[in-house]
Amino acid sequence: MKPQSTDLQTKRVLKYVTDLAQDVKKIEKFISLLMRHMVSKEK
């Protein structure tokens, strides 16, 4: 797995290049949890 990052003005893009389906599933799960956390209301 090779992490690649790029700064575009104020946006940050993080890309992972992999050929393993297991890594893709882990990354998709992480992104899903991150998005859920970002939109959840803090109590």
pLDDT for the residue 4: 53
pLDDT for the residue 27: 85
pLDDT for the residue 26: 87
The per-residue pLDDT string of the chain (43 residues; one tens digit each, 9 = 90 and over) reads: 555 555 545 566 666 676 788 888 888 899 999 999 888 876 5
pLDDT for the residue 29: 93
4, 20, 22, 42 from 25: Cα distances, Å: 18, 9, 5, 27
pLDDT for the residue 20: 81
Domains of the chain, residue spans: 2-39
